[in-house]
Chains A and B, each alone.
Chain A
């Protein structure tokens, strides 16, 4: 790896791994990265990391993919640490001291030791694999909280008002340590099984490419934080589209009348002026457990662009339907509690707790039919899994006839539509159904489908 060819090879495979995660990097950037390596040298790993990030990346969200991939291709060391960890208690002691002192470098070294000592599984003496989960289960760094807190207080490191922040700070330090252990375990595994494979499989994708259906709690929280910036972008996009749409077509009648003063020669074309449309939006959201992450996100997003529309009404359902527009308006202040509030305050379930599209859509057509008119665009959000009950196609047909457009956004992979209890193909015949698995797909779809 110290030879020039070795570095070049390492660099191009790093770029390859990043491309596999959907980061677009051209040859020009790779050349720039190589020039950066030349200028910075290979002596300092952190400088190299920043240098490559600056030349290869184009956006903020890509950084969290880049860092783990970089750790794999330019590892801190090879193999295990020089001395084996003495024992669990000894390691915990030293970990507690490092957490109390907030010493990043020491935490990194301890993570290496911890994975080496407790992460290996399979036949001894050489392990078959390395598991961060197993390391953390045996080490249990979260149980050190009280001890570290008392240590810090004992040394007089925290007093007065800021003392109340201490516990949260230590929790954050423990989180850092967990991330370090995960990175170290990935590195050890990569040494055994080939770096390219691990880089492709074990590195989490950027937040906007995570499947809604499989996103964990932390990922959903991260997504929710992107709602506001995303909404702002969508709003500018919609405004630009509206500006463009308001000019272009020639108003023939007024052009000809204008041409009378120039002897019938149309000198000044008059463009047709669009009547300002007042589009209305109705959202029908499945908020049952399986798809609630997707519905939440979409509801917040639509609420955030609501000032672009004359009217936005949002309905939530599991097997009964209820209007939640008001809840959502207050929900923007506290997006985390939104789904809990909807579950608590709206009547969403009848006799049982599983979702029933047929019943909910039927009830909507019956009770809230007047919410849909010729200016309304309806979005249905859900996976169309009806739990084997009647999909109630006439109700959907009725909604589709009244509305200007009806779109169905399905967070499931297209290949899985129609499997099991999914009624997706039946619904897709009546209304336009789009696959919408990630935040990136959603923002593209919303930008394209929202009425101007």
Chain B
């Protein structure tokens, strides 16, 4: 899919995703080695966006499995369409048992769920397994078979093996430690907060109308907030929100009043707001 690491960065940038060298290298390797990519990092640094960008670059269809507590085989893998099967049985009353049986367990009555969808068919696909840590441990076991051999066994149909391996991205917020077995099958990528220069470019790309010097100040203030010991530090999504807010307010430069009025966009806890106000000297007018 990609030729070099620079090729990855350039093509991701075309879709509006500015990748750090670490991200570009790991995506390149995931493609080359054909291994799933496990992405961890704080909320709002673009883990899910990465999968979308890769799908766009590769011209592939994005298949998404959103994990939550209680997601199970029938939500993740496949399910038989019971209602349709019943209709089929009552429609063909005078058939023999054998005919009916072979018929109702055929492709027509199979409802494919994301994991099965991703490994069937010849078109390129990107499989995004979002918030893997929210799913129960049992689902991890299910993923192991799919991710290591790219095959799924449906008892009535046999084993379905991928003819074309999808590019797999798993994301996790580390709310639960994923099992060692799952980690071993994946390439590991931690996306942290971007460096100042990269973040400035991201802000400029997402909010092009923002003044260059103002963008610089915005990123510097966010950087200073991240260095404080806050309950929830602002991430890239919040930086962009803040930049948009400032643009909407028509602020040309940052000053105490503007920052104090808009701090709520960046910080989501009252304690954090108080702490930041003190540290940034917003009270001293």
List residues of chain A with CB under 8 Å of any chain B CB: 24, 26, 28-29, 32, 35-36, 39-40, 44, 46-47, 50-51, 53-55, 57-60, 63, 160-162, 164-165, 168-169, 172, 221, 225, 229, 232-233, 236, 333, 335-336
* Binary contact track B205-224/A, C-beta < 8 Å → 1, others 0: 00000000000110011011
In the assembled complex, which residues on chain B have CB atoms less than 8 Å from the CB atom of A221?
A: 229
Chain B window 236-258, contacts with chain A (Cβ cutoff 8 Å), 1 for yes, 0 for no:
00000000000000000111100
Closest-CB distance, B224 to chain A (whole angstroms): 4
List the A residue with the shortest CB-CB distance to B31: A39
Pairs across A and B, CB under 8 Å, 22 listed: A26-B184, A32-B35, A35-B33, A36-B32, A39-B29, A40-B5, A40-B29, A50-B21, A50-B25, A51-B25, A58-B180, A58-B183, A63-B190, A160-B217, A161-B256, A161-B259, A165-B221, A165-B223, A165-B224, A172-B227, A229-B175, A233-B175
B162 within 8 A of partner (CB): no
Q: Is the interface of A mostly helix, strand, loop or mixed?
A: helix
Assess whether B167 is interfacial by the CB under 8 Å rule.
no
In-complex Cβ contact of B175 among A24, A26, A236, A336 (8 A): A236
Q: How large is the interface on B (under 10, 10 to 19, 20 to 34, 35 or more residues)?
A: 35 or more
Report how far A236 CA is from B137 CA in the complex, Å.
12
| Binary CB contact string for chain B from 22 to 52 against chain A (1 if under 8 A, 0 otherwise) | 1001101110110100001100000000000
Query: How close is A76's CB to chain B, nearest CB, in angstroms?
Result: 16
Minimum C-beta distance from A164 to chain B (A): 6
Contact between B21 and A46 (Cβ–Cβ < 8 Å)? yes
Which of A26, A28, A32 has the most chain B CB within a 10 Å cutoff? A32
Residue on B with the closest CB to A26? B184
Asked whether B13 is an interface residue with its Cβ less than 8 Å from the other chain, the reply is no
Is B78 interfacial (CB-CB < 8 Å)?
Answer: no
Whole-angstrom CA separation of A29 from B180 in the bound complex:
12
CB distance from A381 to the nearest CB of B (A): 24
Say whether B255 contacts A168, CB under 8 Å.
no
A333: chain B residues at CB < 8 Å are: 231, 271
Complex Cα distance A137/B229, Å? Answer: 29
Contact of A164 among B25, B187, B281 (CB under 8 A): B281
Residue B160 is within 8 A (CB to CB) of chain A in the complex:
no
**Complex CA–CA separation, A19 to B188 (angstroms):** 17
Q: Are A59 and B183 in contact (CB under 8 A)?
A: yes
Q: Which 9 interchain pairs have the tightest Cβ spacing?
A: A161-B254, A50-B25, A58-B183, A162-B217, A54-B26, A165-B224, A162-B220, A50-B22, A39-B32
A54-B189 contact in complex given A47-B5, A160-B253, C-beta closer than 8 Å: yes
